[in-house]
Amino acid sequence: MVRFKDLSIRYKLTLIMLLISGVVLLLSSTAFMVNDLLTLQATMETDLQVQTQITASNANAALQFDDPETANHMLSALAADHYVVLAQIFSENSNEPFATYLRTHTAMPELLGAVRSHQLYSSSAFLQYSLPIHSPNDEYQGDIVLILDRDLMYERIYSYISIALAIIFVSALIAFLLSTALQGVITRPILTLVDLTHVVSNEKNYTLRADIDNHDEIGILVDGFNEMLEAIQERDEKLERHREHLEQTVANRTAELKKLNLKLTYQAYHDALTNLPNRALFVKRVEQAIAYADENNELLAMLFIDLDRFKYINDTLGHAAGDRLLQEVSQRLLACTRQPEDTVARLGGDEFTLLLRDVKEPANAGIVAEHIIKALTAPFTFNEQDLYITPSIGISIYPKDGRDVGSLMKNADAGMYMAKSQGRNNYRFYTSSANAASAARLNMENKLRQALEYEEFEVWYQPRFDIRNGQIVGAEALVRWRSPDFNLVPPAQFIPLAEDTGLIIPIGEWVLRTACQENLNWQRTCQHPLHVSVNLSARQFVQEDLLSTIERMVDDLGMDPCRLELELTESLIMPNAEDTIETLQALKKLGIQISVDDFGTGYSSLSYLKRFPIDTLKIDQSFVRDISEDDDDRALVTAIIAMAHNLKLAVVAEGVETVEQMIFLRNYECDYVQGYLFGKPMPAPEFRKLLENPINFNELLARGHRYTVQAES
């Protein structure tokens, strides 16, 4: 069967015209028929109701005089209306018909509804209507019902259908004849254009043109076809000109792709920030070096370099400063190696690796490590500010410490962690104990996390005294870790690790809350106010929620914020002084006291120091330790005290262990002291006992006075 879309335009037009005319006629005929039938239905219902009313009016006398014969005679007059099928009169108290009329040759139809319901009923064959019969004085006498045949409607429907079919047939015939006559006007030029298209397609002769003089849409189509042929002609002429240009373009693009491929290959094997080889290229070069060393019996050295406390620079000065520092470090590392024989690579973050080829003896790798440490010792300048960084370096030797890349890197990494554990800013060759140290560090980190979870930390307190009257004015809070075997872990073993892993943040918050809570206990028993001093780590100080955390903590505990002192080191506050000033001012607005710890050991700028909103300077114990014998230490301590007082700052001397040190500090008007002479760090219960029974400060002074007199004599 041929599909409609495959028919020619001629037949499509014919079918479309026939379909449109047929549909229009069918719809119009249907609308006319439906309207007429609805009108007929309404007319029949109205006629039935009127006829019933007339018959009911005529029948009231027959019912009144109980005259069935007269009633039947009156009903027989309905025979004049062929469509009345049945008429019945019912008396008031009887369900049997009083009089009945039935159309001849018609079976008795069933009533469509109750006679005394007095409403219109309708079925597919009949209409029924009933009314009550009243006497002239309006008394109810009975009921009358009429049933009308609907044959008239069906006869009308049949006639309408016949007429509609005849009209549709005639219209279709006329439409077919007209479309056949008119379609040639449309299809003839189109067929001519089709034939020309076949000729052009087969012969590829684009000089041909369609000669059809039409000014309608077909004419527009012909003009477009001719213009298309002209465009194809022009295209063929241009194609030849473009071919040579395209060949040249392809050659240029091929060269560009080669350059791009080289660039992508470079990026895949080099660090984007420093342009050093990355891990993938480093591993590849080490594998090549191992293969060559095997054949030529050479030694290789791998150096694993980690920048100490680089995260602190990133946190305080931002990533821009950190990136600049990494770029400068990479240049200094390159300057310490033989290029291109050796390889310097950046693994990521602050980790670098070096491959030294043809090492005559392992000691030579140590010499290179010393050069690197010396090169990185010089300050780095960023925004007119000097930054200092130190490396920790681990060294592994091929083939002694490993015969593959993974082993050499793992062992060099273990040596690096050994260098960190032994004070940083140095290098260590891999030894079997280095892996043990690395494993121990990992074990320590796991235990540190468990200690935080199982609340194994304690806060101890070292008392601080007013050197002028011997009164306890507060204490410094110091964290201690009591391991599950009830032994204390030295802070030097876990504090640096907590700093590196970030655990110092939750530990520091816990210490701060615990110390503030304990300070509230002191206030309940002590007659004069006491301060508690808590150290803030660099990681804590740069936390965005530092201020909100401290403010919420003080509010929750109901603590007077002026009783809390936060200790910050010089190395913490100086690198990013402007941001530090902003943070310190916010803390001061909360009422918190600020002190600078270990003063004199960092790189203070006096111009910034006077701008910092601080309250106290703490002289580092390294200066206090030898003030009895060392003139330089005495000069430094007295200068710090004088400078602090001129800046209206209080001074605390740490590490006071002898009476002589105390006498010296008192003579030069130091404000406060703390140290083993007055009390070691102690658990909270012991400190509360010290508050109840303080040491006899006057006795210490008397002992110092006697010592001074004997020394002078």
The strand pairing partners of 482, in sequence order, are 488
* Structure confidence at residue 605 as a pLDDT band (50, 70, 90): low
- pLDDT band (50, 70, 90) for residue 474: very high
Give the model confidence (pLDDT) of 408-427 as tens digits. 999 999 899 888 877 788 99
pLDDT score at 396: 94
Between helix 659-667 and helix 697-712 the angle, nearest 10°, is 90
Cα(558)–Cα(520) distance, rounded to whole angstroms?
9
With bands split at pLDDT 50, 70 and 90, how would you rate the model's confidence at 709? very low
Quote the pLDDT of residue 2: 59
Q: What is the DSSP letter of 358?
A: S
Confidence grade of residue 149 (pLDDT, cut at 50, 70, 90): confident
Nearest residue to 131 via CA among 147, 146, 151: 146
CA distance 152 to 80: 15
**Dist CA 370 CA 459 (whole Å):** 40
Amino acid (one-letter) located at 503? L
The domains of the chain, with CATH numbers, are: 4-158 (3.30.450.20), 206-268 (no CATH), 279-430 (3.30.70.270), 447-712 (3.20.20.450)
- Tokens 């939750």 correspond to 506
pLDDT tens, residue by residue, 607-639: 667 778 889 999 988 889 889 888 888 999 999
Cross-strand partners of 128: 121, 147
| pLDDT tens digits for range 85-115 | 889 888 887 788 888 888 888 888 888 888 8
Residues 693, 705: Cα–Cα separation, whole Å? 24
| Structure confidence at residue 221 (pLDDT) | 78
Which range among 120-129, 361-370, 472-481 shows the weakest confidence by mean pLDDT? 120-129
Quick one: angle between helices 217-268 and 151-203, nearest 10? 70
Q: What is the pTM of this model?
A: 0.49
